[in-house]
Amino acid sequence: MKLQRLLLLFVSLFVAWQVNAAEFTSAKLTIVSPDGEMAFELPSTGFPVQDFTSFGQAPTLVVQSFEVNVTGALTEATLMVAMYETGSKPEEWIQIPLSDTGKGTWAATIDKDLVEIYQKEGEYTLEMYVKATDSDAKDVYFNNGGQNYKVMFALAAGSDEGGVKWLKNGTAELILYTGEYLQYRYDGDGTRDNTTMPGDVDQLGVNYFCLRYDLEENVNIVNASLQYMIYPANEQSGQWNTIECNELNTLVSSRTNTHRSSCNQPILISHNLEPGNYVLRLMYQLVDDNGKYYFFGRDNDNFVFYFSIKEPANPEILGISMIVTPTPGEQQYPWFEEGETYEVIDLTGEGGIESLTVDETYIFAQGNFDGISLAYKLINDGNEIYGDGIPMNLDGFGNWSNDNPSEVLRGDLLESGLTYTLQFWAEGVANGEMYYLNNGGQNYAVKFIYGTGGTPTVRGDLTGDNNVDVADLNKMIDMLIGKLPSDIPHGDLDGSGTIDVGDVSALINIILGK
């Protein structure tokens, strides 16, 4: 019986020790830089040194908060912090008491700007660990398996104002686009209309933003931007993105020294987001010619919006808008939509044309396309001569465009005096499938006569004498060195779009009969 009681006592003491023994499991360090908030998840061991020195010198670096999770009971816990120039060793450890917040967490709000403290630019290492005492008066450590936790930064030179300033006297306007325009206004105390967008949206874009601010007269702003990040609602942060202002530091009122920076170029910011709930964080950033940063947000923090992306609409290409320029001739402005009656653009009554340029193309689509292009082919008497495509770029709100002029006629493959048809259509890939806007399978078309009277009909005949000889070679060399204007339709024998040594080589081969 005595033996059983001893065993029970031993077991109860062992269980009590197991319950009271304290052990750290994980922690979280939050640092705020001009690029936004960085949250470091710290495991009990295996945390690699984080090196951010290549990101450039930070004009402000605020160690905002620290919290550590623990099982078991503690009587006290202290965060030990050292900041020193990288390559040296800690000379002094700062002790920051942690408070028991309940639920197994000890934490501290630190809110210290390292730039203000050190006042010297250079590369620094922030090193830390936690020292605590459990209920049995034993020391307990949270120290990355004995290696401590290290984060490396580059700091800019400090100043009396810490190198950064949150604007208190600014006002801002933001217009978001979700299929409808949503307008928000803020002033220096952080007030605004609201932060929740109505219902699910297909897309989210920044249509316009503007920041007004009062600064000292000798301050010259050289860069202004909207900084934003988008991340799922169940996460803590994402990657910062920048939209630059295209109107910079415009004096609005000389009496009050009020300036304005703004951007009026619509930009889609939600492309490729999966359906779900998201957070949009944003703030305004100014930089003066001394490298000092100024920010505008809410209570020295970011503005936060909440929105949901719904299931995307079925992929569909809705329309094409094009500017086509024949030479000689005048610009054509066709617009096409699926199901509309389409008439061939007939240029044959205008005489022969030597070039046909697609100057601007806009393709309108819904759904998440991986890519869209304008495809075309050239046909003579029912036979395809060649085909190609002009890739489009997504420029926001379902619009794909390309404003780089593209010559679609290849003189080396065409004969003067013949009638050709340029057929074109839009095609794109979404979810691994091809989608088209092609006039119900008939394609859209421009009909024309290539060349003009007296133009060459023999490949390589640049003189128009129906022979390909040294005279043609001399004329091409004069084009190459700039003595004569380049005759692209007839002299571009290799189809490169220019007349160069490749065309000279091709012409020599024609003369030699190769």
Please provide the DSSP assignment of 166-234 as one string. E-SS-EEEEEEESSSEEEEEEETT---S-SEEEEEES--EEEEEEEEEE--TT--EEEEEEEEEEEETT
Same domain, 246 and 284: yes
CATH of the domain at 272: 2.70.50
Same domain, 66 and 104: yes
The pLDDT of residue 10: 43
Same domain, 114 and 228: no
pLDDT tens, residue by residue, 44-69: 999 999 988 776 677 677 888 999 99
pLDDT band at residue 390 using 50, 70 and 90 as cut-offs = very high
Same domain, 426 and 490: no
Count of CB atoms situated within 10 Å of the CB of 230: 19
Same domain, 494 and 418: no
The pLDDT of residue 151: 92
Instruction: Identify the domain boundary among 155, 173, 195.
Output: 155
- In which residue are the tokens 């008939």 written? 442
How many C-alpha atoms does 216 have within 13 Å on its Cβ side? 6
Question: Are 107 and 65 within 8 A, CB to CB?
Answer: yes
Q: Model-level pTM?
A: 0.50
In 3D, which of 151, 23, 141 has the Cα closest to residue 78? Answer: 141
Average pLDDT over every residue of 237-253: 87
Average pLDDT over every residue of 189-212: 74
Mean pLDDT score across all residues of the chain: 83
**At 6, is the secondary structure helix, strand, or coil?**
helix
Q: Which of 146-160, 318-332, 365-379 has the lowest mean pLDDT?
A: 146-160
- Of 40-49, 199-208, 310-319, 366-375, the range with the highest mean pLDDT is 40-49
CATH of the domain at 411: 2.70.50.30
- Residue 29, pLDDT > 90, answer yes
The pLDDT of residue 195: 57
In a domain, 456, yes or no: no
- Residue 36, pLDDT > 50, answer yes
Same domain, 217 and 256: yes
Question: Are 344 and 336 within 8 A, CB to CB?
Answer: no
The pLDDT of residue 337: 84
**At 361, is the secondary structure helix, strand, or coil?**
strand
Six-digit token string for 294 = 């100024």
Burial of 251 (0-12, 13-18, 19+ CB in 10 A): exposed
In a domain, 189, yes or no: yes
Same domain, 404 and 324: yes
Q: Which of 139-143, 420-424, 488-492 has the lowest mean pLDDT?
A: 488-492
The pLDDT of residue 69: 93
Same domain, 65 and 170: no
The pLDDT of residue 190: 47
Average pLDDT over every residue of 350-363: 89
- Residue 394, pLDDT > 90, answer no
In 3D, which of 385, 388, 453 has the Cα closest to residue 413? Answer: 385
- Residue 243, pLDDT > 90, answer yes
In a domain, 12, yes or no: no
- In which residue are the tokens 């002094």 written? 92
pLDDT band at residue 186 using 50, 70 and 90 as cut-offs = confident
- Determine the length of the chain: 514
In a domain, 463, yes or no: no
- Residue 199, pLDDT > 80, answer no
The pLDDT of residue 97: 92
d(CA 23, CA 44): 9
Total domains in the fold of the chain: 4
Same domain, 109 and 245: no
Same domain, 381 and 299: no
Output the CA–CA distances (angstroms, integers) from residue 259 to 198, 224, 276, 471, in the order listed.
Answer: 32, 12, 39, 65
The pLDDT of residue 7: 42
In a domain, 3, yes or no: no
d(CA 56, CA 409): 49
**At 347, is the secondary structure helix, strand, or coil?**
coil
Average pLDDT over every residue of 464-471: 82
Same domain, 144 and 37: yes
d(CA 389, CA 485): 27
Q: Which of 36-45, 299-308, 376-385, 410-419 has the lowest mean pLDDT?
A: 299-308
Question: Are 35 and 65 within 8 A, CB to CB?
Answer: no
Output the CA–CA distances (angstroms, integers) from residue 133 to 13, 17, 94, 451, in the order listed.
Answer: 20, 15, 18, 92
Question: Are 103 and 140 within 8 A, CB to CB?
Answer: no
State what percent of residues in the chain have pLDDT above 90: 30
In a domain, 460, yes or no: no
pLDDT band at residue 499 using 50, 70 and 90 as cut-offs = confident
Q: Which of 11-20, 143-152, 422-431 has the lowest mean pLDDT?
A: 11-20
In a domain, 416, yes or no: yes
In a domain, 7, yes or no: no
- Of 333-347, 427-441, 461-475, the range with the highest mean pLDDT is 427-441
Average pLDDT over every residue of 127-142: 91
Average pLDDT over every residue of 266-289: 87
Cβ-Cβ contacts under 8 Å for 167 (sequence gap 6 or more): 188, 213, 284, 286, 294, 295, 296
pLDDT tens, residue by residue, 444-464: 999 998 985 444 457 788 887
Six-digit token string for 96 = 């920051």
Instruction: Identify the domain boundary among 287, 309, 331.
Output: 309
In 3D, which of 141, 114, 297 has the Cα closest to residue 209? Answer: 297
- Residue 42, pLDDT > 60, answer yes
d(CA 386, CA 374): 15
Which residue segment(s) compose the domain that 424 sits in? Answer: 316-450
Same domain, 353 and 444: yes
Instruction: Identify the domain boundary among 284, 309, 334.
Output: 309
